[in-house]
Chains A and B, each alone.
Chain A
Amino acid sequence: DQQVKQNSPSLSVQEGRISILNCDYTNSMFDYFLWYKKYPAEGPTFLISISSIKDKNEDGRFTVFLNKSAKHLSLHIVPSQPGDSAVYFCAASDRDDKIIFGKGTRLHILP
């Protein structure tokens, strides 16, 4: 049973445009949400996070939005750059510090 779902395995976006990556979760006990970026043959790197008490967190070109009633979060990247091409993992945790990851979305930034 997947608690964190990324329903789009891949996404292609033109360079300079906005990339929107979506994530849904089922466990209402999750109170902390994270996005990780992963290049091939490397470990994931932490990108941005949001606590359940907020509905938006922004860091440079990256913004994460949280809709608790819909159990949905999204990552916006604007403007998209070639170096943003990677696999993006959505993740969620509750108070016991375990993080549950989605299956990832591969983002392709097109020139």
Chain B
Amino acid sequence: SQTIHQWPATLVQPVGSPLSLECTVEGTSNPNLYWYRQAAGRGLQLLFYSVGIGQISSEVPQNLSASRPQDRQFILSSKKLLLSDSGFYLCAWSDGGEQYFGPGTRLTVT
């Protein structure tokens, strides 16, 4: 069966520091991968999605970037965090149908 892992579970970082969140999927190959953010009082905002290694589409202009160095690895990064980057970050995968979400990372930028 397929599983999706995200780490870390929680993170507190100062403004201006870098960020790296990692997501890996097991039990499937060539999945579509997604990064979402859920900010306080808001819905799930799609940040990036990838249909293959090295193929990244950005949905919103922002302070963040994403990379897919391997088929089942998806990384969310920032060179300098902003206060507005605080939120709950979710990675998801799909094989063309429903999306399945990881446990999420709670990021607090102070």
Which A residues contact B (CB, under 8 angstroms)?
6, 32, 34, 36, 41-46, 49, 89, 97-104
Contact = CB atoms under 8 A, between A and B. Distances in A.
Interface in B64-110: 88, 90, 92, 94, 96-104, 106
Given A101-B43, A101-B44, A41 B106 contact: yes
Contacts of A97: 32, 49, 51, 94, 96
Contacts of A44: 44, 90, 101
Interface of B: 32, 34, 36, 42-46, 49, 51, 59, 88, 90, 92, 94, 96-104, 106
A46 to B, nearest CB: 5
Listed from nearest, the 3 A-B pairs whose CB atoms lie closest are: A43-B101, A103-B43, A101-B44
Question: Could you tell me the dominant secondary structure of chain B's interface residues?
Answer: strand
B104 A34 contact: no
B104 A98 contact: no
Contacts of A36: 101
Contacts, number: 49
A43 B98 contact: no
Contact of B104 (A42, A99, A101): A42
Nearest to B57: A98
B32 A43 contact: no
A46 B103 contact: no
Given A97-B94, A97-B96, A45 B46 contact: no
A24 B95 CA distance: 26
Given A34-B98, A97-B32, A98-B49, A43 B43 contact: no
Contacts of A42: 103-104
Contacts of A100: 46
A104 B43 contact: yes
Given A89-B43, A97-B49, 11 more contacts: A6-B43, A36-B101, A43-B101, A43-B103, A44-B44, A89-B44, A97-B94, A98-B49, A99-B99, A101-B43, A104-B44
